[in-house]
Amino acid sequence: MAQTIIQLPAANCSINSDMPDRNFSDYYALFLGRFQGQAVYRSLFLFEVPILPSGNIAKVELVLYIMRNDSSDCPKKFSIHRLTESFEQKTVSYDNQPIFDERPYAILTIRDEINTFIRIDITKLYNGWRQGQFPNCGVMLKSSDESRDSLVAFYSKEFENMIFAPRLEVKLRKSLAIEDETRTSNGSNGYSIGNPSEIYFFMGNEYFTDDDLNKALKYYKKAYECFDPGAQYGPKLVLMLVKVLNELDLVEEGLEVISCGLEFYPEFTDLEYIRSELLLSQGKISLAVKGFEKCLAMGDPPSNQRFIPGSGSYRAHYALSELYFELEDYDRAYRYCMEALRLKPDFTEALYKIVPILLEMHNGIGYIKSSVESFFRGSINRSSLMTIADIFIMSRKYDIALDYFVLAEKTDRDSADILYRKGMCLLYLKEFDRAVECFDSVKPGEFYEMARFRIALCEALKGNMYKASQLLEKTNEYKDDDTRTVYKTFVEILEGKKCEPINSNREESGRFVNIIFDLLSIVLTAGPPETFEKSLQLLNLIENDEVLLRLAKLYYSNGYYSLAYQEFMRSIKMFGKIDREGIKMLNRIVSKSSPKHITKEICP
């Protein structure tokens, strides 16, 4: 790991459109985005650019700690701008705010993150300042869409605990790197703050972002040994330690830290939540149930211990719903899913789960539709229609999804993504002509090339092989060579031609495997059985030892359990390939029916 130099801001301040003449320079937090339909906040930062030997900088990141996130249910975009005029922390206000370059330097998205650091790469900007391309007047952070509520807050340098202050992390290349241990010696590298535990914690974070989990663990452990539970970073340290232990598969140790952590912080629901998840992954179902129920009894943790949103409320309900769903305990799954949605009606995961639950409970489709719509509280707009359509696609209810795409189309005609996805629904419903019509209307842009391939597929499934080939010829100019290769081979197979291997390189074949299975999963639903059977030849034309495992999973997820069983066996026999998910599926298959009955199932 390279040496990192930490710089604290020389100035930071936020400005507020609602109080345009006021200065907030001594406040401990920095605000960003629109608040409750009125006030718009922006934040300004200035860092000194020291003189360094040139060419040594590997990466520069602006690191901020999110301490408030009001609209945590939706992603919010923020932009960073270079200031072209300097500002004074003590006097700057919304009215006298400095001029800034309108072109955003970078965009960042904040979703439901809370009590965590975010990082923004500003290497180029920093180098520009350093090399004198433009003067260093600082940067501004603002919401990309100031017409939407999006309030987020970070700790400012005025906050008592410097570990959470905004900072620049300047990573140097090896030439300047010094031994790790010297980083912890106070003062020399900008770590002039806090006690050793805090510094170790910080080091742990560094290594964690660098994906060096073993080193991260080493420092988190050191930090944990001498940490003061009363310190601000305490809960986060415990959480990170648990996280790293789990990722390193040191589950038992992780569970111990959780137990201790809960003694320090009895209201730290997130820990109980993680413990329940761990128990579940170990198959300890009854203990996991008790754990999640305990989360609900604890409620959400105090704000300084809140890292997993809803761990004591909607998320724990949802976890229970998923657990019960897996065990085919649908009444319970329904109850908990509904409760999660009652607490948080826009909780996407739960919205996606409610349809499969209602289907398993043999509810009528009309009822299911109105249930789902009810969660959108009457605000059925383009985005909610698209979400609902997507939810039904997940459950393979293409006809229902189609209805919603048609409605969405009314609000936004000619939208490429609506047209493309509508086309896909029609394709799955075997309405090839109407599908082609939709794909054909997709204008050049994001979905265009894929739509052209899908048209060729429709033609092939209609039996128009010549037309399909012709269409594929026309895709020569597209950059997606792999898809073209697969589709062309597919058509050749259907035509009964002898085909060249698609790929004989084991390493590269992964790319093709994904395209082939995307194709196969469509053909399995939309094509006649003979066509699917033929198209399986694609799997012989690549050199990849996971194809039978993937095929088995494809069959499984389409409900063809005996075929899935057969392919799992072949995958083991021919390639020695099986994985956790595959074994779980096998276990499910044999528990549904005794093996002698599995073989009776009719082939598609």
Partner 1 sequence: MLSLCMIVKNEEKTLARCLESVNDIVDEMIIVDTGSTDSTVAVARSYGAKVLFYKWDDSFSAARNYSLKHATGDWILIMDADDELEQSDKPKLLELMTNKNVDVYLLQTLNYVGNKPGLDVVCNLNVRLIRNCRGYRFEGEIHEQITNENPDFSKGRIRSERVKFHHHGYLHQNVIEKNKRSRNIRILQKVLEDNPDDAFTLFNVGNEFTALDNHIKALEYYGRAYSNFHPDTGYGPRLFFRMALSMNALGLYEEELKIINEGLEYYPDFTDLEYLKASLFHHQDKFTLAIRAYKKCLSMGEPPLYQSFILGAGNFRAHHALSEIYFELGDYNASYNHCVEAIRMNPDFTLPLNRIAQVLDKKGVKMDVIKSKLENFFEAIPDRTPFITLERVFSGLKRHDIALEYLLRAEKTDRDSADILYRKGMCLLYLKEFDRAVECFDSVKPGEFYEMARFRIALCEALKGNMYKASQLLEKTNEYKDDDTRTVYKTFVEILEGKKCEPINSNREESGRFVNIIFDLLSIVLTAGPPETFEKSLQLLNLIENDEVLLRLAKLYYSNGYYSLAYQEFMRSIKMFGKIDREGIKMLNKIFILPRRIMVSEVKDNGANNNSTSCG
Instruction: Note the residues at the interface with partner 1 (CB under 8 A).
Output: 249-252, 279, 281-287, 289, 323-324, 327-329, 332, 569, 572-573, 576, 578-580, 583-584, 586-588, 590-597
Q: Are 537 and 490 in contact (CB under 8 A)?
A: no
User: Smaller CB distance to partner 1: residue 126 or 325?
Assistant: 325
Q: Are 135 and 55 in contact (CB under 8 A)?
A: no
User: Smaller CB distance to partner 1: residue 253 or 409?
Assistant: 253
As measured in angstroms, the least distance from the Cβ of 572 to partner 1 is 5
Beta strands at 39-46 and 4-7: parallel, antiparallel or unpaired: unpaired
User: Smaller CB distance to partner 1: residue 160 or 252?
Assistant: 252
User: Smaller CB distance to partner 1: residue 178 or 583?
Assistant: 583
**Of 312, 118, 148, residue with least CA distance to 209:** 118
236: Cβ–Cβ under 8 A, 6 or more apart, which residues? 115, 116, 201, 307
Q: CA-CA distance, 486 to 491, in Å (whole number)?
A: 9
User: Smaller CB distance to partner 1: residue 279 or 494?
Assistant: 279
As measured in angstroms, the least distance from the Cβ of 270 to partner 1 is 22
User: Smaller CB distance to partner 1: residue 479 or 596?
Assistant: 596
Place of tokens 């603002």: 142
User: Smaller CB distance to partner 1: residue 497 or 573?
Assistant: 573
Cα atoms in the 13 Å half-sphere on the side-chain side of 494: 26
DSSP state of 261: H
First to last CA, the chain: 55
User: Smaller CB distance to partner 1: residue 394 or 590?
Assistant: 590
As measured in angstroms, the least distance from the Cβ of 585 to partner 1 is 10
Place of tokens 């003061």: 228
- The tokens describing 190, both together, are 């900008």
Cα dist from 140 to 86, 87, 146, 286, 467, whole Å: 11, 11, 14, 51, 55
Cα atoms in the 13 Å half-sphere on the side-chain side of 107: 8
Q: Which residues pair with 542 in a beta bridge?
A: 503
Q: How open is the CA angle 113-116-122, to the nearest 5 degrees?
A: 95
Backbone angles phi, psi at 65, to 5 degrees: -105, 115
Q: Are 519 and 535 in contact (CB under 8 A)?
A: yes
**Of 76, 102, 97, residue with least CA distance to 22:** 97
Q: CA-CA distance, 386 to 409, in Å (whole number)?
A: 10
**Of 113, 110, 74, residue with least CA distance to 309:** 113
Q: CA-CA distance, 135 to 132, in Å (whole number)?
A: 6
Q: Are 78 and 30 in contact (CB under 8 A)?
A: no
As measured in angstroms, the least distance from the Cβ of 601 to partner 1 is 12
Q: CA-CA distance, 245 to 93, in Å (whole number)?
A: 46
As measured in angstroms, the least distance from the Cβ of 258 to partner 1 is 16
381: Cβ–Cβ under 8 A, 6 or more apart, which residues? 411
As measured in angstroms, the least distance from the Cβ of 435 to partner 1 is 36
- The tokens describing 589, both together, are 């298959």
As measured in angstroms, the least distance from the Cβ of 251 to partner 1 is 6
Place of tokens 């066509």: 531
- The tokens describing 417, both together, are 């993504």
Backbone angles phi, psi at 58, to 5 degrees: -90, -40
**Of 164, 217, 168, residue with least CA distance to 189:** 168
Q: Are 578 and 572 in contact (CB under 8 A)?
A: yes
Q: Are 357 and 366 in contact (CB under 8 A)?
A: no
Backbone angles phi, psi at 18, to 5 degrees: -80, -25
As measured in angstroms, the least distance from the Cβ of 584 to partner 1 is 6
As measured in angstroms, the least distance from the Cβ of 340 to partner 1 is 18
Helix, strand and coil content of the chain, in percent to the nearest 5, comes to: 55, 15, 35
CA dihedral 220, 226, 229, 234 (to 10 degrees): -20
User: Smaller CB distance to partner 1: residue 498 or 580?
Assistant: 580
